[in-house]
Structure 1
Amino acid sequence: MSDLPPRDSRGRFTSRGGLAAAATASVVAVGGVSVSAGGGSAVSLDSAASQALKGKSSSKKSAQKGRHSETWQRLGWRQLKKTAKRELNCGPHSFGEVQRFFLRHPCVDLDRMLVTVDDGAGNTIAVSVAWVKMPRAGEASDLKRLVDKDGTGNVVLFGEAPPGSRFTGKNYDSRLAKKLVVIAESAPASGRPSDATLETAVDVAAEFPAP
């Protein structure tokens, strides 16, 4: 991955462009949403952003059940297209230190998905998810620890060629479930979705079970 700010224990960045600036700026514009941080100032959210915030918890529950269209609908979004592919070998579909890891510890299965969603505010978002199944839980834990570090490479996400050309690691999340590592990234497909919107997309997508 590219040189980016450090991530926290869940693999998220601890400082993201507009999100970091929000801590010090008095007014932050987020994807058409105006947030005033001054004392006693009102916080104004448009209906699309407000619905996404309210629907995030229920959206994750739908994602955990594998209900893809319903997941995005609970955010007030709409799924436009979904493509998935399965591989049996992770080595050819990875790069950097992560690829070298797979040469020593081959995966059992690799599923990748690319979905495009409309956020209801005039933007479309590309969300790519990879499910990597390892032979042992310890290997899965080691893999997650590696991919969560900057500069170590990654699985080549579906819809990305060459690696890093679209999904740069800026909007990233990962999840560990025993022998399974889930990696999710998002990127603008059209328009100018906010960092908060892109982060919501990966937070939710990482909850999907493997196909």
Structure 2
Amino acid sequence: MGFYTDGQGRKRPITPKKGGAAAAIVVGAVLAMGVAGGGAGGGLSPLGGGGSGGSAGQAVKARKAEGQRSAREGNAAEAWRRMGVRELKQVLRQDAACLAASHGRVQEFFLHTPCTSLDRVMLTVGDDAGNVAVVSVVWVGFRTGGDAREFQRLMDVHGSGDIRPLGAGVLGLADVVFSGHNYGSDRKNGGKVLTVAEAETAAGRHDPEFLDALAEVAAYLPTPPR
């Protein structure tokens, strides 16, 4: 097995991002932030905070399918509700500086295939039990669908590099390291835009299957308007 050095200078194994890891790497430091009570009527169940039995896994899969459907329709609030969480905070930045915002083989890719747009969102979602996850979503636009397809093949390999998330600091969080194991990607806008999403625990507890489902739902969110 080969190894690579991530954006934080850590040595990590090179593996497929999808279906490769049995468990997520735990984030370094945790925020001192609770989930506000009230809000969505009926409360939000902590789907991702309990043990991982067969029934719980099936429930997460069902919720994920429903959440992806709502996300693809452009209804982010409903997508998160389907997952048993609500959005707490979000920061969006838009530019086209893919080369400067990337590292590893991903950065090398941009040297010969520039992107046409870059949208990055950092957000937190939480349930009524105080479990909070931080989610990074990146939309990368290309001139052709073929360029986006080749980029997806590269991004889907763990250890190939990354486009740096905005950083949890924009949300007032500390040292949340994205492992790449809770990951989702999807092409949209005629195949010319690749969405890449990652998720990690920020407070409380989430099963790896739940974090991965959050990322796969986030990857279906439409490109932000410009």
- TM above 0.5: yes
CA distance in 2, matches of 1:182, 1:131: 4
State the secondary structure of the residue aligned to 2:143: coil
Q: Contact 2:141/2:148 (CA < 8 Å) preserved in 1?
A: yes
> In structure 1, what is the Cα distance between the partners aligned to 2:18 and 2:75?
24
Runs of 4+ in 1 over 6 A off after TM superposition: none
Q: Deviations over 1:7-45 (max 9, x none)?
A: 2xxx41333227xxxxxxxxxxx732363x7xxxxx5x5
Cα–Cα, structure 1 residues 146 and 89, in superposed 2: closer, same or farther, change >3 Å? Answer: same
Give yes or no for the alignment of 1:61 onto 2:72. Answer: no
Counting aligned pairs with the same residue, the percent is 34
Report the CA distance between 1:55 and its aligned residue.
Answer: 3.0
Alpha-carbon offset, residue 157 of structure 1: 1.4
User: Number of residue pairs matched?
Assistant: 185
Query: Which residue in 1 is equivalent to 2:179?
Result: 168
Aligned to 1:27: none
In the other structure, the counterpart of 1:33 is 51
What pairs with 1:73-84 in structure 2 (closer than 5 Å)?
A: 73-84=81-92
Q: Residues 117-156 of structure 1: matches in 2 within 5 Å? A: 117-156=125-164
Secondary structure of 1:192's aligned partner:
coil
Do the aligned residues in 1 keep the contact of 2:138 with 2:165 (CA within 8 Å)? yes
1:133-179 alpha-carbon deviations (Å, 9 max, x no partner):
01111111111111112222111112268xx9611212111122311
Cα pair 1:52 1:74 within 8 Å, conserved: no
After superposition, the Cα gap between the structure-2 partners of 1:140 and 1:160, relative to the gap in structure 1 and judged at 3 Å, is farther
Match of 2:20 in 1: 14
Does residue 212 of structure 2 align to residue 203 of structure 1? no
Q: Is structure 2 residue 12 aligned with structure 1 residue 3? A: yes
| Partner-residue secondary structure (3-state), 1:3 | strand
**Change in CA separation of 1:6 and 1:89 when aligned onto 2, cut-off 3 Å:** same
RMSD of aligned alpha carbons: 2.5
Distance in 2, matches of 1:210 and 1:100, equals 24
Amino acid across the alignment from 1:14? G
Match of 1:92 among 92, 100, 111: 100
Compared CA separation, residues 138 and 54, structure 1 to 2 (3 A)? closer
Give the match for residue 197 of structure 2: 184
Q: Is the 8 A contact 2:49 2:131 kept in 1?
A: no
Please list every run of 5 or more consecutive structure 2 residues that lacks an aligned counterpart in the other structure.
1-5, 25-47, 170-174
Gaps of 5+ in 1: 19-29, 38-42
Structure with the larger RCO, 1 or 2 (CA within 8 Å, 6+ apart)? 2
TM-score with structure 1 length normalisation? 0.78
Q: Aligned with 1:33: secondary structure?
A: coil
